Chain A
């Protein structure tokens, strides 16, 4: 009588494979909220850059020495704030113009900074 040869996976092997796949998928699913957070941060960061650009343009248009001020920046959230100020440049006829936008993202303080130099 010929001996019957069978091929395939045992139940244990299949369960093991499922387990490995499950771990991998769970790990990937665990990254999804992080990806979502990252997307949200990117969006608010882009809005912050836009707010900073607006403030920089306003300040450059005013072209005024010692210009300083601060405004709420609701586009980057309820805690959003845009601040601009000048500091002395390296030469007497220059001023450094700084603009910074700050906001909270999931209780993390974030910031975008721009700067330029005004010559007189």
Chain B
């Protein structure tokens, strides 16, 4: 009996020791695996940095070995271009397969961990909200306040101003640099000091009167009255304060103009324009791409008529004004009309003859299935859109009625205007407006006509995204009531992340579409 007890104790003791040893080994292996994982992530970061801005699209077609710590930590990385990259680059986003392996120890390496990432150029459509500067026209401060809520990725090249706790679904990113990083006087966050690189590197700093100096990028934002960050600042959708800003982010330049869309539309899409005249004026479309004058229209939102033309805000004769087109989206495509100043009416337009249609009831109908359309003039849009289309507009785009998808699950529309995108509606009529699109206003804003006039117009329902140079307003009022213009109901269309409108502009960055962790091997 005694011997049996002794044997039992012996067995239990051995088991306990073995379990402890197994535990210890497992944790050691897990640690090594995690170290290898972040070495592999370093390889992925290296590949993405080299692909950013297409510095070298063919970078690392041969496997590269980079040592982080001699005999301890290193990684191997290889980039293989996607076969469709050989198509004309403007036909879509370039993509690559990146394989990065983190290596622990010395050759033949005790632990290896491999990541496979499919990366591609980042379309601007993946932003729910993007501004080149988050100040309004004339540098007026526009705040995010308590009742504002934004879902989806956000970024500003400038800086945000917060009063209260607006809600965001993702980290709120800013560059704190203003619209021109080479000119620090333009819209730069006055409290922000960029990092210093070189032999004596310094981290980015933020010094605001209310918060002192911090190097924590989560605190790089303006607060109302320079108050404390605990009183003001972004919070998660559930109100959690365990959520923050990421200031000092890389600057993401907006395209100077939408000329690239014109190029693609000319080669493979459809261009809507009018012939030049004998006495070339603004309507002569051979204007240089960097033409800086702003051409616009005055529009009677009650009658839907064009009542005048402007150049840099000054009245312009109709003969000198660029053409005004209207695209009426329908399931079959987009019907094209042109404003005829002579008859003060929109008339059916033939895009091939570049003249009014012979049959006044038969305008050109542009396919929107998978199309790139460029309107060389001012463009009015409305209707029900079906397909996957990017619409480039030379001057302003006006949304004159609801603009919706036939099928929210699959349709995508991108509007890229060189100037502003303006929602047109009667100022005293309370009727919700719905817009399904991702919109870029390259030199202007997404805004509402006379947003500070009239009365409450209801709710502006947006399903898509807004990318604008200068922050635009859609209404005025307090946190709980709307005095003029619209209240906002903005929902990000998540399919825009991976399925942008055809030929929608890309940022210089690349991003990870899918990431596969093949796991750790080795270390026994």
Contacts and interface: CB of A to CB of B under 8 A. Distances in A.
Interface of A: 18, 21-22, 24-25, 28-29, 31-32, 34-36, 38-39, 41-43, 45-46, 49, 52-53, 56, 60-69, 86, 88, 92-93, 96, 112, 114-120
Counting from the closest, the 10 A-B pairs by CB-CB distance are A66-B203, A119-B49, A117-B42, A28-B13, A35-B20, A116-B38, A42-B23, A38-B20, A64-B217, A65-B195
B23 A25 contact: no
B150 interface: no
Given A29-B9, A31-B17, A38-B21, A114 B35 contact: yes
Nearest to A114: B38
Contact of B17 (A22, A35, A68): A35
B49 A116 contact: no
B42 A65 contact: no
B215 A66 contact: yes
27 contacts: A22-B6, A24-B10, A28-B9, A28-B17, A29-B13, A31-B16, A32-B13, A35-B17, A38-B20, A42-B24, A42-B27, A56-B38, A60-B41, A62-B217, A62-B218, A63-B250, A64-B249, A65-B203, A66-B203, A68-B215, A92-B197, A114-B38, A115-B35, A117-B45, A119-B45, A119-B50, A120-B250
Contacts of A18: 2
Contacts of A22: 6
B247 A64 contact: yes
B291 to A, nearest CB: 34
Contacts of B202: 66
Nearest to A92: B197
Nearest to B3: A21
Contacts of A38: 20-21, 23-24
Contact of A32 (B16, B217, B218, B249): B16
A94 to B, nearest CB: 8
A37 to B, nearest CB: 8
B27 A46 contact: yes
Given A42-B24, A67-B203, A49 B9 contact: no
A25 B201 contact: no
B27 A45 contact: yes
A28 B14 contact: yes
A8 B108 CA distance: 59
A49 B31 contact: yes
Interface residues of B, number: 48
A39 B23 contact: yes
A49 to B, nearest CB: 5
Contacts, number: 120
Given A117-B68, A119-B48, A62 B203 contact: no
B204 A116 contact: no
Contacts of A114: 34-35, 38
Contacts of A66: 195, 201-204, 215, 248
Interface string B215-244: 111100000000000000000000000000
Chain A, interface SS category: helix
A29 B11 CA distance: 11
Of listed B20, B21, B218, residue having the most chain A CB within 10 A: B20
Interface in B27-54: 27, 30-31, 34-35, 38-39, 41-42, 45-46, 48-50
B83 interface: no
A21 B215 contact: no
Contact of A67 (B14, B73, B217): B217
A53 B34 contact: yes
Interface in B59-79: 68, 73
Nearest to B245: A62
A35 B246 contact: no
B248 A65 contact: yes
B198 interface: yes
Contacts of B198: 92
A74 B197 CA distance: 35
Nearest to A88: B201
B19 interface: yes
Given A24-B10, A42-B27, A62-B246, A115 B17 contact: no
B519 to A, nearest CB: 15
B171 interface: yes
A69 to B, nearest CB: 6
B49 A25 contact: no
B26 interface: yes
B34 A49 contact: yes
A107 to B, nearest CB: 19
Contacts of A68: 203, 215-216
B10 A25 contact: yes
Given A25-B9, A28-B14, A35-B17, A93 B201 contact: no
Nearest to B25: A42
A65 B196 CA distance: 10
A20 B202 CA distance: 67
Contacts of A96: 68
Interface string B459-492: 0000000000000000000000000000000000
B283 to A, nearest CB: 44
Interface in B128-157: none
B104 to A, nearest CB: 12
